[in-house]
Structure 1
Amino acid sequence: MNDINPSDLSLLPILEALIEERHVSRAALRLNRSQPAVSHALARLRDLFDDPLLVRGEGGLQPTARALQLAEPLAQALALVRTMIEQPAFDPLQCSRHFRLSLSDYGAAILLPRLVAQLRKSAPLIDLTVVSYGRERALAALVDGEIDLALGVYPALAQVRYKALASALLFEESFACLYDEAALPGPLSLERYLAAPHVRVTVALEDDSEIDEALARLGHKRRIAVQLPHWSAAPETVRGTDLVLTAARRSIQHLGTGGLRCGDLPFDLASFPFVQTWHRRREMDPAHRWLRDHIAGIVSATNAESLP
């Protein structure tokens, strides 16, 4: 047998078709190739195996003893390769997987209840572990394979060091501020906003705040009187105090009752993308892709319900 080049491996499915069809034209039709191309491949195969492989006989081409010897191991090898390449049909009801997600309190509040409820119906064998990592740690954990999916606000995704991560926009969010009207009656001017003490929510101390960056560009700085790692605890810290909480609008707009007011910011601040992001090595994983699509569907349905 002569030396095989990597490109010669593509000839093996042609040999399989020729042995089974025993006819160059039928093999070409089966492979969606031209007859001259299959004839040329057969010539190369004969050279590689140092055997005619197929010879003319009664009723067409007949496999030689060498070809018959090759038939079974060839079929097994190609079947194994096809099994590796061809993904089986994905059935969420039969999928037994454990996914690790990073979500902030805010993300968990708006997504997790519906996601868990739907998974219990559509994919009851899928298990979730939810962690709450800071922005930088979440992206690093995706790169390292520590988690499967991160959902949140990740400005650093544009950096070259995270080029291995893919992402998809779930929705655009804006900021609003929540405060107690008894202590701070009426809408807040920029002067009153800056004079008030503030609550800041951040999971990691090193995470940048879009609010403070925007104020710095305007030449201002607010006083952070209370810093918390949990969104869920923050709204109640402003009740009965002169504190102001600036947060994602979806997380606080429903709280603007009972003495609390949810108002617009007294300065311009661009909206920001809330995304789901994952490592590109998970791109074609059927279960991972199904979970991402499911999350996107939940967000789309939630957005539709919130429209007037």
Structure 2
Amino acid sequence: MSPDSIDLNLLRIFDAVFEERNLALAGKRVNLSQSAVSHALTRLRQVLNDDLFVRTAKGLQPTARAMGMAGQLRGALQQIKSALDIVAFEPARAQRKFVVAANDYITSLLLGRLSQRLNAEAPLTDLVIRPSTRLDLAGQIDVGRIDIAVGIFSDIPSRFRWMKVWDQTDVLLMHRDHPLAEQPLTPDSVLEYPLVAISQGGEEEGAVSGFIFERGLARQSEMFNRAALNLVCAGQSESPRVRVAMAHSLAIPALLRFSNMLALVPSALGREMERNSELKMRAAPYECPREDVRAVWHERSDNDAALQWLRRQMADLARQVRT
């Protein structure tokens, strides 16, 4: 067989298998039996002279050839759908799975609201939230396994599109009974008391200046501005002590309840925790720039009506988040 004679249905089946890594599940997506999916894969393997998928204990794993073609193929299929004008999205009746990558505090602030919106306006859609900390985030966006990633990114490749969700800066959280709760804060405050900070990857994961770079995408690994913090100790004999560094924000109230530690957190999270716990938020006692939280997606999704609708909902709900 020649590549020129490939049935487009074979490519659609390949895309389903790549996404599901399971013949039976892929068959359900394309309304075919498992044997029909297997037969289609055999035909495609003959055309491309590659196994495409290898059986493992964890399911079907794509070969290097399959990994290389998956992203471009999904984009091509999406363009075909757009050209045929079959992507109309009716929220009330649509059955669709949205996959969004975000860390835990963005999930609690934005995606919790988004879930409620979907339940009210698009009740047949499903929302899957993946951790934005995964090292292959850009690759997952490339191959279409993640629709939108939300976070702070210093560099965004031209193949990706983005929109601003909100901007934020660093603030300090403390228990309302903390010795500094009613006192003026100075740069010495962060030297006197140990800190809690959110860090989702350090130098051992390849982080440079608080960012992890992969496939051209630079995503924030530390949920605070280390450069601004380090300026506090310029000329001092000691440095701020980050006593607890953790990947999740939900434990912050418990950590501060019985200690005099200070938590260094994004302002959007700080306001939410101050509102819902016994914590008090204070501005950082040093110069700290505001940074943009952005939603990022692949350029092939620009004309996907369902994802256009989803992005509009996210932009609308983000206005409810105080920073």
* TM-score of Structure 1 vs Structure 2, range by shorter chain: 0.5 to 0.7
Partner residue in 1 for 2:189: 192
Q: Contact between 1:199 and 1:226, CA under 8 Å: does it hold in 2?
A: yes
Report what 2:240 is aligned to. 222
Write the distance in 1 (CA, Å) between the matches of 2:286 and 2:270: 18
CA contact (8 A) 1:135 1:154 kept: no
How much has 1:260 moved relative to structure 2?
3.4
- Whether the 8 Å contact between 1:153 and 1:274 is mirrored in structure 2 is yes
Whether the 8 Å CA contact 2:101–2:148 is kept in 1: the answer is yes
Separation of aligned partners in 1, 2:139 and 2:262 = 32
CA distance in 2, matches of 1:84, 1:281: 13
2:94 and 2:124 in contact (8 A); partners too: yes
Question: Which of the pair has more CA radius of gyration?
Answer: 1
How much has 1:87 moved relative to structure 2?
Answer: 4.3
Residue-pair matches, total: 220
List gaps (5 residues or longer) in structure 2: 1-79, 211-221
1:166 correspondence with 2:161: yes
Q: Which residue of structure 1 aligns with residue 264 of structure 2?
A: 246
Aligned to 1:138: 137
Instruction: Give distance in 1, aligned partners of 2:132 and 2:191.
Output: 29
TM-score (normalizing by structure 2)? 0.61
Supply the distance in 2 between the matched residues of 1:173 and 1:181 (Cα, whole angstroms): 23
Q: 1:244 to 1:137 in 2, by over 3 A?
A: farther
The 8 Å contact of residues 228 and 234 in structure 1, kept in 2 or not, is answered as no
Q: CA deviation at 1:152?
A: 1.6
Name the CA shift for 1:252/1:243 in 2 (closer, same or farther; >3 Å). Answer: same
Bigger drift between 276-285 and 207-216 goes to: 207-216
> How far apart are the structure 2 equivalents of 1:194 and 1:82?
58
Counterpart-to-counterpart distance in 2, 1:176 and 1:83: 45
2:230 touches 2:240 (CA, 8 Å); kept in 1?
A: no
Q: CA deviation at 1:254?
A: 4.5
Q: In structure 2, what is the Cα distance between the partners aligned to 1:113 and 1:181?
A: 27
The residue identity in structure 2 corresponding to 1:214 is A
Contact 1:235 1:245 in 2 (8 A): no
Correspondent of 1:204 among 198, 201, 214: 201
2:308 counterpart residue number: 289
* Shift, 1:217, TM fit: 4.8
Larger helix fraction of residues: 1
Indicate conservation of the 8 Å contact 1:142/1:278, yes or no: yes
Residue number in structure 2 paired with 1:6? none
How far 1:187 moved relative to its partner? 3.0
1:122 aligns with 2:117: no
Distance 1:110 1:83 in 2: 33
TM-score between the two structures when normalised by the length of structure 1 = 0.64
Distance in 2, Cα, partners of 1:298 & 1:234: 25
8 Å Cα contact 1:97-1:127 kept in structure 2 = yes
* CA–CA distance in structure 1, aligned partners of residues 92 and 289 of structure 2: 41
Distance 1:83 1:141 in 2: 22
Secondary structure class of the residue paired with 1:92: coil
Could you say which residue in structure 2 is the equivalent of 1:269? Answer: 288
Choose between structure 1 and 2 for higher RCO, CA contacts under 8 A separated by at least 6 residues. Answer: 2
Check whether the contact 1:133–1:203 (CA below 8 A) recurs between aligned residues: no
Q: Do the aligned partners of residues 224 and 94 (structure 1) sit closer, same or farther apart at CA in structure 2, a change above 3 Å counting?
A: same
The CA deviation string for residues 199-257 of structure 1, in whole angstroms up to 9 with x for no partner, is: 11123334513421223356544211111111111232112212111111121224448
How far apart are the structure 2 equivalents of 1:214 and 1:275?
21
Q: CA, structure 1 residues 86+222, in 2 after alignment: closer, same or farther (shift >3 Å)? A: same
- The yes-or-no answer on 1:237 pairing with 2:251 is no
Moved more, 189-198 or 214-223: 214-223
- For 1:13-45, what per-residue CA distance to the aligned partner results, in whole angstroms no more than 9, with x for missing partners? xxxxxxxxxxxxxxxxxxxxxxxxxxxxxxxxx
Residues 82 and 303 of structure 2 are in contact (CA less than 8 Å); yes or no, is this contact kept in structure 1? no
TM-aligned CA distance change 1:235 to 1:259, over 3 Å: closer
Deviation string for 1:147-203 (max 9, x for gaps)? 11111212232xxxx221110001111221012354432232101212321111123
Change (3 A) 1:256 1:91: closer
Q: Distance in 1 between matches of 2:81 and 2:285?
A: 61
User: Contact 1:182–1:240 (CA<8 Å) still a contact in 2?
Assistant: no
Two-structure CA RMSD over aligned residues (Å): 2.7
- In structure 1, C-alpha distance between the alignment counterparts of 2:241 and 2:312, rounded to whole Å: 41
